Amino acid sequence: MYNSKIIGLGYYVPDNIVTNDDLKEFMETSDEWIQERTGIKERRWIDPKTEDTTAVMGVKAAKVAIKRAGLTKDDIDFIVFATLSPDMYFPGGGVQVQDMLDMPTIGALDVRNQCSGFIYAISVADQFIKTGMYKNILVIGSENHSGGLEKSTRGRNVSVIFGDGAGAAVLSRSEEAGKGILSTHLHSEGKHAKELVLEGPSTGRWVPDILEKNDPDDVSYYPYMNGQFVFKHAVTRFSEAIVEGLEANNLQKEDIDMLIPHQANLRIAQFIQRKFKLSDNQVFNNIQKYGNTTAASVIIALTEAWENDKFKEGDLLVLAAFGSGFTWGSVIMRW
């Protein structure tokens, strides 16, 4: 059986920077309030006047990753696209990427696992490569949150958190033992689905009903999050996923060179850092600049950490995420 390793990384974020102070123009909030609760100072939101969409941002990130991998778009055998905010209800973003990049008629798979989407997508790609089915797989995480947020005082608990952006990785076949993706670990607990949810639109609340009702007070079309409940479960599941991955590879927490957590909340990342007794140089966070970009957050952070020489060849990297579903997971890799 083959191994898979990341050979190319890229990311893209919109130019439009929205600071905490900017948010005060349309909601009751403050920079101090947001930073104290989330650690976020600013985020990127798509300017509606630009061409950017979830798929377009994914393509922009993918072009960088493919070029850095030393490949062309014709070398890619398969696409895995993770998002909760596709441009269309269906089809998904994967086929849009295939079209926009003018690729051959390769397969394209969409992953809808929200904050853990990139972890799930990497795991899927890893299995395809390990079994020998594909050689080079493009994995994308991309989100356009700003188009669906309730930008008002009523929606501020959610809307201040999320940002737009995309990241991409090229996974490739390798026969080098002990390098690349060592293991992936995935979990879910659906009984908590409504603690972090966007209920509509859905096939249970379809277009005729929406048009007939048209209730401006119907908040089911905006994201809802039980923040304290999510935080409590996140810190537990993050820890479990990391420990599970280490134990599966006979590793200890002291072996971690770099932890890249999902950028959900800086307080969660700091809690995990203290629990595993990791230094500031062993954990990479960029939520301060970009907010929570959901399926894009881990890959954007991984790419930025790589660009800034935060890890080197041979280092042990741990990627971990937790989010809506609830779903969570980890990736253990040797760079």
- Tell me if residue 185 is catalytic: no
- CB within 8 A of 88, min separation 6: which ones? none
Beta-sheet strands, E only, within the chain = 3-12, 17-19, 42-44, 78-82, 107-111, 136-143, 165-174, 180-188, 196-197, 224-225, 258-261, 316-323, 327-334
What is the rounded distance in angstroms from the CA atom of residue 258 to the CA atom of residue 317? 5
Distance CA 85, CA 144 (A): 6
3-state secondary structure of 35: helix
**How far is Cα 10 from Cα 20, in angstroms, rounded to an integer?**
27
Residue tagged active-site, from 3, 145, 262, 285: 262
Contact 10, 62 (CB under 8 A): yes
- φ and ψ at residue 4, rounded to 5 degrees: -120, 145
21 and 148 in contact (C-beta within 8 Å)?
Answer: no
Active-site position among 20, 113, 115, 145: 115
Per the residue annotation, which of 3, 144, 286, 292 is the catalytic one? 292
Q: How, if at all, do strands 107-111 and 78-82 pair?
A: parallel
Show the tokens assigned to 33.
Answer: 């309030």
Question: Collapsing DSSP states into helix, strand and coil, what is residue 277?
Answer: coil
- In this structure, what are the phi and psi dihedrals at residue 224, rounded to the nearest 5 degrees? -125, 140
Neighbours of 167 (CB within 10 A): 33
Question: CA–CA separation, 283 vs 137, rounded Å?
Answer: 27
User: Beta strands 136-143 and 165-174: pairing type?
Assistant: antiparallel
For the question of residue 262 being annotated catalytic, the response is yes
Q: Which residues are catalytic?
A: 115, 262, 292
